[in-house]
Amino acid sequence: MSEEGGLPPLPASAPAERNKQPIADVLARVLPHAGVVLEIASGTGQHAEHFARAFPALTWQPSEPDLSSLAILAERVRRAALPNLRAPLELDVHAPPPLVDEIAAVVCSNMIHIAPWSAAEALFSGGKSLLSGGGLLCLYGPFKREGRHTSPSNEDFDALLRRQDPEWGVRDLDAVSGLADVTGFDLLQTHEMPSNNLTIVFQKRE
């Protein structure tokens, strides 16, 4: 089936479609009223398009390290044709931070558990370089709390991830908060989300 205009539908993630509005509801409470938001690991771009529509006063800068995903993301951005949704950057968090405008916030969904711990370290160190004091770094995904999984489904998911790659896995919130602390961020808010996920908001110290 084709989309309007005869274009074929783009690949899409069912979980991204389900969680984009709950995440937007949290972001509406924490993001600044204006500025540039850098999204890390934008994937299919469903979040980027939805958030750009939801926050027209913000400029949304998507990014993606995987070249095949980057092509899909770029096409979604092109079709959306939103004035506040920029063309995506090819960006791996392990690389030096991109040369972009001053960033008001960094948003990253469902990345640090499907990447080695070094990706979380690089995310915070890069965020420290890009953000001014008071800038926000927002994470969404599954987390353990006090070393325990928050649901049997998250425990099963963690086991599945670790079978795929021993360096992957659901991260413990205390470990992530500790990493944030030593990098210069304070834990500002923790929001319970559907499907046993969390949205975590960190703020760079002044």
Q: Mean of the pLDDT values across residues 23-43?
A: 96
Return the CA Rg of the chain.
16
Interatomic CA distance for residues 103 and 84, integer angstroms:
14
pLDDT score, position 195: 93
Q: What is the pLDDT of residues 160-173, one digit of tens each?
A: 999 999 999 999 99
CA dihedral 26, 29, 30, 32 (to 10 degrees): 130
For helices 46-54 and 67-80, the axis angle rounded to 10 degrees is 30
pLDDT at 2 over 50: no
123 versus 7: which is more confidently predicted?
A: 123
Q: What is the pLDDT of residues 83-119, one digit of tens each?
A: 999 999 999 999 987 777 789 999 999 999 999 999 9
Residue 5: the pLDDT is 61
Domain ranges of the chain: 14-204
Residue 6 has pLDDT above 90, yes or no: no
Long-range contacts of 33-37 (CB under 8 A, 24+ apart): 33/57, 33/58, 34/58, 34/104, 35/59, 35/102, 35/103, 35/104, 35/105, 36/60, 36/61, 36/100, 36/101, 36/102, 36/103, 36/104, 37/61, 37/103, 37/104, 37/105, 37/106, 37/107
**pLDDT of res. 1:** 38
pTM given for the model: 0.93
For residues 73-78, give the mean pLDDT. 96
* Tens digits of residue pLDDT in 134-193: 999 999 999 999 999 999 999 999 999 999 999 999 999 999 999 999 999 999 999 999
131-141 and 185-193 strand pairing: unpaired
Q: What separation in angstroms does the CA of 206 have from each of 1, 34, 136, 138, 166?
A: 51, 19, 12, 17, 36
- Give the DSSP per-residue string, 53-80: HH-TTEEEE-EES-HHHHHHHHHHHHHH
CATH of domain 14-204: 3.40.50.150
Q: Widest CA span of the chain, in angstroms?
A: 51
Write the single-letter amino acid at 109. Answer: S
Share of the chain above pLDDT 70, in %: 98
Residue 101: its pLDDT value, please?
A: 75
